[in-house]
Chain A
Amino acid sequence: MPQKVWVTGMGTVSSIGLNVEESFRSLCEGKTGIGPISYLDTRFKEEYPLGEVKLSNDELKERAKLSEPIVSRTVLLGTLAAREALSQAGISDVQEYRTGFISATSVGGMDISEKIYQGFLEQGKLEDLSLMGIHDCGSTTEMMADLLGIRHFISTISTACSSSANSIMLGVRLIKQGILERVVVGGTDALTRFTLNGFNSLKIVDKQQCQPFDANRRGLNLGEGAGYIVLESEALMEKSGKKPFCYLSGYSNTNDAFHQTASSPTGDGATRAMEKAMALAGLKADDIDYINVHGTGTANNDMSEGNALMRIFAEHVPTCSSTKAFTGHTLGAAGGIEAVFSILAIQNQVVYPNLFLETPIPEHNFSPITKLKEQKVEHVLSNSLGFGGNCSTLIFSK
């Protein structure tokens, strides 16, 4: 019997809350975090709503007690969430055991570097060029690792919108192989003009509040935030006698190999990811109590993901919902934030509404729930699907 890898702590920051407690309250009250732009410096201020974390960089810095003059927002959000996760897990000395930090991000320090780089590319400006050293994704992880004091193992995964599901997966595998005893895993992404303009060029950004899995959906809203969980080995759990939240029973990453950005209409990659994760967990279709779908609100994703669900669950798609109408699509952080939401569902035996869903997609034989529901939640399946055909499934079990 292979060892179980346990979740002992979690932390999150997003537009619906600055910590786990606030986020859970918003989920229960059906309160979206998506609204008019207040912090991102962009010409699209009046045009697009966003899921912004409702604090300025200075306010975030104060909250995180950081004195460095310039810190990427990605680091600020990530540090707050990762610290909450460590504190929930009751870990004060990260050096005590072999501890790792695996973070995911799609933009890294781009919020800072996009301004400096543009100045350099457009006008040959040389000032602040030294800040380019914090541009790349790996730098943001190193800065967070240093702030958390973790140095036994660090890594960063960047596979677009499935990034943090993949960092969780790697953490589980490193513990199972005995390379680490415990690890902080998840991801962080700040909103940047780079991503807003990028998704805008793809013409998949909704100018109104997004409506995932609605027949009349118009696209996604971008969001920002961070979500991390602490994973510990069975041996450590026995030693400490801690009461874990749940364990990671299944996981899988596959590739759709269909198109650089679009998902295959039949959802091949997502189907395989879910199947493999369920097989690893030893679960059958009717064991899954709740699915936190990727559900971005784009025409392509929701159709493809829904078709994949029908291929696996046929007429009996479990209770499911997308929480992206709450947070917006937080890209590289989405898998981490949604892991926290999935674990909260198990802890509280409750599943969340898919906000703003009015008309079910006619091609689907199921539709996500639209009201908060108390029910038995033992096994939660969470999907994260990204560019490059990247498909990931995680299963959390009680």
Chain B
Amino acid sequence: MEAFATKLKEQIITHLNLEDLTPEEVGLDDPLFGEGLGLDSIDALELIVFLEKEYGIKIENPEEGKQIFESVNTIAKFIQKNKNT
């Protein structure tokens, strides 16, 4: 799980162009939005498409994204859960 979360973190950094950050600087439980990494609604839409393209998981309602995208760990858990079912 931890290895997966680390890989995911790298993918997110590349995908969202967070060039100024190294993977070490982002904690697995750090909040991604608001005060944390400062991601916003546009990044949430980017992440939704990223999950569908990369992992084949569809999020129909962008509102759902809020809980899923809380941190790298919550995203990792969401992917694991939806891939197994």
Chain B interface, >50% SS class? helix
CB pair B40–A259 under 8 Å, yes or no, is yes
CB pair B45–A202 under 8 Å, yes or no, is yes
Count B interface residues, CB 8 Å: 5
Count A interface residues, CB 8 Å: 7
CB pair B40–A201 under 8 Å, yes or no, is no
0/1 string, B24-46, CB within 8 A of A gives 1: 00000000000000001110010
In the complex the two chains form, what is the Cα distance from A202 to B42 in whole Å? 8
Residues of chain A with a CB closer than 8 A to B42's CB = 260-261
Q: Name the residue on B nearest A201 (C-beta).
A: B45
Q: Name the residue on B nearest A259 (C-beta).
A: B40
CB pair B41–A262 under 8 Å, yes or no, is yes
0/1 string, A251-281, CB within 8 A of B gives 1: 0000000011110000000000000000000
0/1 string, A5-21, CB within 8 A of B gives 1: 00000000000000000
CB distance from A299 to the nearest CB of B (A): 10
Q: Name the residue on B nearest A204 (C-beta).
A: B62
CB distance from B39 to the nearest CB of A (A): 12
Residues of chain A with a CB closer than 8 A to B45's CB = 201-203
Q: Name the residue on B nearest A202 (C-beta).
A: B45
Residues of chain B with a CB closer than 8 A to A262's CB = 40-41
Residues of chain A with a CB closer than 8 A to B41's CB = 262
In the complex the two chains form, what is the Cα distance from A262 to B45 in whole Å? 13
In the complex the two chains form, what is the Cα distance from A201 to B40 in whole Å? 15
In the complex the two chains form, what is the Cα distance from A159 to B40 in whole Å? 22
CB distance from B6 to the nearest CB of A (A): 29
9 A-B residue pairs with Cβ-Cβ distance under 8 Å, sorted by A, are: A201-B45, A202-B45, A203-B45, A203-B62, A259-B40, A260-B42, A261-B42, A262-B40, A262-B41
7 more CB-based (< 8 A) A-B contacts, given A261-B42, A262-B41: A201-B45, A202-B45, A203-B45, A203-B62, A259-B40, A260-B42, A262-B40
